[in-house]
Amino acid sequence: MNETGRQPKAVSAWMYVLAFGTLLAFLALVGWSLFRRQQGAVEVGKPAPAFTLTSFDGQVIDSAALAGRVVVVHFWASWCEPCENEAVLMEAAWQAYREGGEVVFLGVDYSDTEKKALEFIRRFGVTYPNGADLRTTISQAYHISGVPETYFIDRDGLLAYRQIGPFLSTGEIRAVVDILLSQ
């Protein structure tokens, strides 16, 4: 017994459990968040993320409904300079396949204003469906690192090829599509 008549209380076990539990939960949350952020691009050969795109002219396109066709998903923005030349190449490639009906081109406008996007589409004469990536859900699903990026989905819905950065010729685009059509 000391002068004050009190002894320092031992820290109870539940306090240790609570403190360490909170710390672990917090670390797990931070780890999970970092893991999600650091996840790389979608792997080639794996199923391509499904998405719904509402085009600027109001057409609702469900990627899942495009199974059996080769799908070219092109991420672009009006403020992206390399996208300008590539828009012409994409349109030329699209014109080569549009009659066949076996290939679908979709333009996903990333973080843009609708006004500028429509100006861009008119300026480069793009005719395949284009729509805004609302809330950036599609670009997040594909983990894009910027624009332009293009993803090629085969007839089975698997990601067959991805192009980070712009294509430099229509021939490059068609080469990829032709391989997928021949499979």
Place of tokens 């080639």: 44
Contact 124, 84 (CB under 8 A): yes
DSSP alpha helix (H) spans, the chain: 13-38, 81-97, 114-123, 137-142, 170-182
User: Which of 13, 101 has the CB closer to other proteins?
Assistant: 13
CB of 88 to other proteins, least distance (A): 20
Which chain residues interact with other proteins by CB under 8 A?
Answer: 2-4, 6-8, 11, 19, 22, 26, 29, 77-79, 110-113, 115-116, 132, 134-137, 140
**Given phi > 0 = left and psi -120 to 50 = alpha, else beta, which region is 175?**
alpha
| Shortest distance, position 77 Cβ to other proteins, whole Å | 7
CB of 71 to other proteins, least distance (A): 24
In this structure, what token pair is assigned to residue 54? 């509402």
CB of 36 to other proteins, least distance (A): 11
Nearer to other proteins, 130 or 174 (CB): 130
- For residue 156, the SS3 value is coil
